[in-house]
Amino acid sequence: MRGKRVLVTGGAGFIGSNLANHLAVDNEVIALDDCHLGTPENLDGVDAEGNASGPVEFVDGSVLDEDLPTGVDVVFHLAAYSSYTMVEENKREATRVNVEGFVNTVEQAREDGCDTVVYATTSSIYGSRTEPSPEDMAVEARTCYEASKLARERYAEYFGNHYDMTLAGLRFFSVYQGYGGAEEHKGEYANTVAQFADDIARGESPVLFGDGSQTRDFTHVSDVVRAIELAADQELNGIYNVGTGESYDFNTMIEMINDELGTDIEPEYIENPLPVYVHDTMADATKLREATGWEPEVGFEEGVARVCKPYQ
């Protein structure tokens, strides 16, 4: 993407800031964030691959505001309460942000003449699966978080059908970068790779739910950013998975981190305290690959090395 004016909501957050920094190399970028979960310090003018970018215009604001900077060519809507626990503890506000904030942003974009939106939904609606999950399989909302993201997908369908807008919903699988990137501000809500690497680097035992056999399709943020950009470039419509198609269990992940750091820290196992928990995930990203040619470029071994590098 080149020469566009774009808005990234949640633009100071983890994925949003990586996207904003990346797009600012060749585009005019506005990053909107209320700083509840993000920090403008992430907008450092360098993308995940180390490329220097132009300045990102930061706007301190909420997706619930009445006068959003939506006079752009493309809206990348990433703003959200982004985890099960975060939403359960703030159901009303989280639903307002995740659902009303989505409708408010897309409607203002439409009124300002922007008809291309790429937005974040979630892969957790697939539940626990050790087989690849395709977009057309049956899904359900078991948590308030999942319900809010499914609502986004339905409202996107409405905007597409009623106003002939182009809206691509991306179901991300376990996105990570590490505290050396733009994840540190998320703290307890950061991906487990980032949290466990930081624990081990500080000589502390990472805490694992159950026996550590749960698996995730870990997808590096640089691959996710490329997928988001391609979805806009190709003007995709509908729902697309963004994941590697490979899964690793937490025990293996801990071994990989120890190997990379030259440590031998054993994890601590505790009973899972969460009433709803996705034990296994794996993406089927065939639809995205066939539509755009996207392929993940950062394997998990390389990704763990990148997460651990700042500690070495």
What is the number of other CB atoms lying within 10 angstroms of the CB of residue 55? 10
Domain ranges of the chain: 5-177+219-245+283-297
Mapping DSSP to helix (H, G, I), strand (E, B) and coil, where does residue 73 land?
A: coil
Q: Tell me the backbone φ, ψ of residue 196, rounded to 5 degrees.
A: -70, -40
- Alpha-carbon gap, residue 109 to 103, rounded angstroms: 10
pLDDT, tens digit, 9 for 90 and up, residues 110-158: 999 999 999 999 999 999 999 999 999 999 999 999 999 999 999 999 9
Q: Mark whether 240 is an active-site residue.
A: no
Mean pLDDT confidence for 257-279: 95
Is 3.40.50.720 the CATH number for 5-177+219-245+283-297? yes
Q: Tell me the backbone φ, ψ of residue 169, rounded to 5 degrees.
A: -100, 125
Supply 49's token pair: 């691959």
Quick check: 51 pLDDT over 90?
no
Task: Name residues whose C-beta falls within 8 Å of residue 36's C-beta, 6 or more positions apart in sequence.
Answer: none
Contact 281, 216 (CB under 8 A): yes
Q: Which residue has the higher pLDDT, 54 or 167?
A: 167
Q: What pLDDT, on a 0 to 100 scale, did the predictor assign at position 84?
A: 85
Please identify which of the residues 84, 126, 145, 240 carries the catalytic annotation.
Answer: 145
Q: What pLDDT, on a 0 to 100 scale, did the predictor assign at position 46?
A: 64
Supply 114's token pair: 């922007």
Pure H helices in 133-275: 144-163, 192-201, 221-233, 250-261
Quick check: 297 pLDDT over 80?
yes
- With cut-offs at 50, 70 and 90, classify the pLDDT of residue 220: very high
Q: What pLDDT, on a 0 to 100 scale, did the predictor assign at position 310?
A: 96
Q: What pLDDT, on a 0 to 100 scale, did the predictor assign at position 250?
A: 98
Mean pLDDT confidence for 227-236: 98
Quick check: 269 pLDDT over 80?
yes
Q: What pLDDT, on a 0 to 100 scale, did the predictor assign at position 117?
A: 98
Quick check: 22 pLDDT over 90?
yes
Q: What pLDDT, on a 0 to 100 scale, did the predictor assign at position 236?
A: 98
Q: Which of 98-102, 177-181, 229-233 has the lowest mean pLDDT?
A: 177-181
Mean pLDDT confidence for 185-205: 95
Q: What pLDDT, on a 0 to 100 scale, did the predictor assign at position 187?
A: 87
What angle is formed at CA 89 by the lines to CA 178 and CA 81, rounded to 5 degrees?
50
Quick check: 50 pLDDT over 80?
no
Mapping DSSP to helix (H, G, I), strand (E, B) and coil, where does residue 30 land?
A: strand
Q: Which residue has the higher pLDDT, 83 or 266?
A: 266
What is the number of other CB atoms lying within 10 angstroms of the CB of residue 233? 15
Task: Name residues whose C-beta falls within 8 Å of residue 208's C-beta, 6 or more positions apart in sequence.
Answer: 250, 251, 254, 267, 268, 269, 270
Residue 46 is given by DSSP the state: B
Taking all residues of the chain, what is their mean pLDDT, rounded to a whole number?
Answer: 95
- Alpha-carbon gap, residue 162 to 254, rounded angstroms: 48
pLDDT, tens digit, 9 for 90 and up, residues 166-190: 999 999 999 999 999 899 989 888 9
Q: What pLDDT, on a 0 to 100 scale, did the predictor assign at position 85?
A: 87
- With cut-offs at 50, 70 and 90, classify the pLDDT of residue 107: very high
Tell me the one-letter amino acid at 42: N
Q: What pLDDT, on a 0 to 100 scale, did the predictor assign at position 47?
A: 64
- With cut-offs at 50, 70 and 90, classify the pLDDT of residue 36: confident
Pure H helices in the chain: 14-23, 84-88, 91-95, 101-111, 144-163, 192-201, 221-233, 250-261, 286-292, 300-308
